């Protein structure tokens, strides 16, 4: 579990309600952020798709204040919360009206952290194709998802995400899909992406975290 930096996360989201602060704290503790941050070298620009409250962007800015950071979420409530929490952080947040970014806007990094699972399977390729279009030719697409193994972590995660999306509705999205690694590989190929690296990130976590780093195929 990742407790490092939690006190700063509590203070970064201090302007939000107690419930939202508790949510971001739980997100901080339950996701392997340090391993995801290790994929960023501190230079250039980053777009976080499905940014939620903007936690990953805040962590990137904390480590690399010079980076240009932007976030997008289809949930306008989350974007408002992210904007409120990051007022003084020089992070740009895009809402549905501003999506997709204008042609020609490219980023050195594009991240999706626990987003694809909440999107209908037949929409993954189109979202990743948009991501690929806005990724620089040498850029990295960072995808952290939860997958379908180990079996007990899969069932725990499926239960929690079903509660999040369908019952308590604190995540706006479709029924959760925790897919096999092979399914991701097929989708990435159809979106014109090549996997550079992939690995499990679930040691010491109750959730089946998994990381893919992709680059776009040359045109």
Ligand X SMILES: C[S@@+](CC[C@H](N)C(=O)[O-])C[C@H]1O[C@@H](n2cnc3c(N)ncnc32)[C@H](O)[C@@H]1O
Rounded Cα distance, 36 and 26, in Å: 17
Span of 2-10, 47-55, 59-67, 145-153 interacting with ligand X by CB under 6 A: 47-55
Q: Is 93 helix (H, G, I), strand (E, B) or coil?
A: strand
Of residues 134-193, those binding ligand X (CB under 6 A): 171-173
Tell me the number of residues near ligand X by CB under 6 A.
19
* Secondary structure of residue 11 in the 3-state scheme: helix
The yes or no reply on residue 32 touching ligand X (CB under 6 A) is: no
Q: Are the beta carbons of 16 and 78 closer than 8 angstroms?
A: no
Point out which span in 39-47, 51-59, 182-190, 203-211 binds ligand X (CB under 6 A).
51-59
For residue 51, state whether it binds ligand X (rule: CB under 6 A).
yes
Position among 50, 139, 176, 208 found at the interface with ligand X (CB under 6 A) = 50
9's tokens:
């996360």
Shortest Cβ 95–ligand X spacing (Å): 10
**114 lies in the binding site for ligand X (CB under 6 A):** yes
| 8 Å CB contact between 149 and 184 | no
Residues of span 115-134 touching ligand X by CB under 6 A? 115, 118-119
Contact call for residues 60 and 110 (beta carbons, < 8 A)? no
**Contact flag: residue 73 with ligand X (CB under 6 A):** yes
**Between residues 194 and 209, which has the closer beta carbon with respect to ligand X?**
209
Kindly tell me which of 49 and 110 has the beta carbon lying closer to ligand X: 49
Tokens at 203, concatenated: 């040691």
Angstrom distance (rounded) from CA 133 to CA 106: 8
**Dist CA 53 CA 42 (whole Å):** 21
Q: How far is the CB of 42 from ligand X (least distance, A)?
A: 20
């Amino acid at each position: 579990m990742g407790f490092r930096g939690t006190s700063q996360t509590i203070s970064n989201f201090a302007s939000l309600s107690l419930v939202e602060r508790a949510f971001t704290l739980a997100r901080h503790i339950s996701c392997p952020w340090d391993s995801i941050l290790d994929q960023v070298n501190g230079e250039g620009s980053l777009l976080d798709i499905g940014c939620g409250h903007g936690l990953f962007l805040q962590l990137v800015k904390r480590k690399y204040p010079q980076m240009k950071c932007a976030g997008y979420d289809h949930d306008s409530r989350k974007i408002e919360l992210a904007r409120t929490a990051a007022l003084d952080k020089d992070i740009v947040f895009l809402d549905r009206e501003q999506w997709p970014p204008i042609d020609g806007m490219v980023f050195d990094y594009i991240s999706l952290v626990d987003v694809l699972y909440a999107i209908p399977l037949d929409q993954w390729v189109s979202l990743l194709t948009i991501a690929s279009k806005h990724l620089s030719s040498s850029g990295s697409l960072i995808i952290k998802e939860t997958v379908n193994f180990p079996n007990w972590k899969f069932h725990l995660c499926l239960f929690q995400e079903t509660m999040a999306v369908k019952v308590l509705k604190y995540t706006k999205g479709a029924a959760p899909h925790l897919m096999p690694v092979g399914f991701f590989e097929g989708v990435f190929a159809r979106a014109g992406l090549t996997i550079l690296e992939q690995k499990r990130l679930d040691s010491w976590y109750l959730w089946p975290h998994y990381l893919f780093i992709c680059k776009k195929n040359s045109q």
